[in-house]
Structures are given as structure tokens and as C-alpha cells.
Chain A
Amino acid sequence: AQTVTQSQPEMSVQEAETVTLSCTYDTSENNYYLFWYKQPPSRQMILVIRQEAYKQQNATENRFSVNFQKAAKSFSLKISDSQLGDTAMYFCAFMKHNSGNTPLVFGKGTRLSVIA
């Protein structure tokens, strides 16, 4: 079974600064996807960024980028130029590459507070 670990329950960052959220995972699979989801107080899960394991290049979406280290099974999220609207719970998630059952496996989350 796959597991996802987020070792930072809470983090804070000053507005306009950069912050990195950590995520490690355990799997015996070779093909899989990794995700970072944001959950603001509205509770809706919003996809921030996605990484395919077969791609060596780290994914980037505007101010959000990842550091994907497949051998170390590490998938950290870097938020640059932090904004007040980035305040939310952030969840790291794993999905096997499988044509059948495709559930997401989530970590416990990191609560990020952006301080003005």
C-alpha cells in the first residue's frame, strides 16, 4: 500500500517571501502521479500542481514549483512570492498509474499561513 507523509503540520511565511512544503511517499510502483492540492476555508480541494513520475523535469505552475526526487521518494512544493490568498491547508497526494481503480492517497496536510 502507498503512504504519503507530510512532516510539517503547520508553517507560516511572510507575504512576498518563499516557502517550501515537504512531502515524502512510499511505493513500490514505478509509474505514478503526484499532486499538491490546496484546501482553503471554503473546503473545496483545488489542484495546484501535478507531476508524472516518468518525467524528470520538475513541474511548474506560475508561482508554484516542485522538487521531485524519485529515488528519494520526495516531492516538495515551493511557493514563491507568497500571497495572502495562499493561506490554506496543502495536501500532497499520490496516484498509481492504473487503468482500473485510481484512488488518490493523501497525506495529513500542512496548514500554511501567509502573514502580512
Chain B
Amino acid sequence: DAGVTQSPTHLIKTRGQHVTLRCSPISGHKSVSWYQQVLGQGPQFIFQYYEKEERGRGNFPDRFSARQFPNYSSELNVNALLLGDSALYLCASSLDLGTLGYTIYFGEGSWLTVV
């Protein structure tokens, strides 16, 4: 079975632009989460979606938004890009909500560079 897939793998954007990152969870997984990992740091939680509803939001500005589609895939959108948004964006999926005992699986991430 395919793992968590993310696209694009690498992209370069200019300050002020908008970016959309995409994630396909493992087949059958209903929960998708997004994390931002700045170089040299651990990942930081941005959003969690479960059954197409937002179930959690981290401490990120309103420029960050996300959604989950009926097929459980997800998009992360970032508007008005800043240099500080340069990071690895990780998508994670789980069969159900993580604390019900299911393992959380991560994709390989999307490297975003803002210049």
C-alpha cells in the first residue's frame, strides 16, 4: 500500500505569493494533520482534520488555512508568504484520532523556500 504522499516535494516562492501543498493519506485513514518543521527544529503542529472537519489548530496566523476533501486528502494553503515560512511541511495521517491507539504515519514532506 502507498504511504502518505505529498506534493510538490520542493518549491520556491517569492514573498507575498500564495502556496498550496497537497497530501494524500494512507488509504482508509480519516485523520490528516499538518506540521511545519523549520531547519534545526522539531515539527510544530499547524492543523488537524478528521472526517473533513477541523479538529485542532496550532499557534499559526490566519494566513495559514487548510481543508480536507471527501476522499480524505488535504490541502494546506499559505497566503502572503514571508521569508520565515521557509520550512519543511509535513503531513501525517492516522486511521482514526491518534489517541485511540492508532499509529501516526508521516509523509516525506514538502520543502518550501521563500525568497
Q: Are the C-beta atoms of B106 and A103 separated by less than 8 Å?
A: no
Interface residue total, chain B, C-beta cutoff 8 A: 27
Query: Which residues in chain B, 42-80, are within 8 Å of chain A measured between CB atoms?
Result: 42-45, 48, 55-56, 58
- A43 vs B106: C-alpha distance when bound (angstroms): 10
Q: Does B108 contact A (CB under 8 A)?
A: yes
For chain A, the bracket of interface size reads 20 to 34
- Would you call the interface of chain A mostly helix, strand, loop, or mixed? loop
Residues on B lying within 8 angstroms of A by beta carbon are 33, 35, 40-45, 48, 55-56, 58, 88, 90, 92, 97-100, 103-109, 111
* CB-defined A-B contacts under 8 Å, sample of 16: A44-B108, A44-B109, A96-B99, A97-B99, A99-B99, A100-B55, A101-B56, A102-B55, A102-B97, A103-B45, A103-B58, A104-B43, A104-B104, A105-B45, A106-B42, A106-B43
Residues on A lying within 8 angstroms of B by beta carbon are 4, 33, 37, 42-47, 50, 91, 93, 95-109
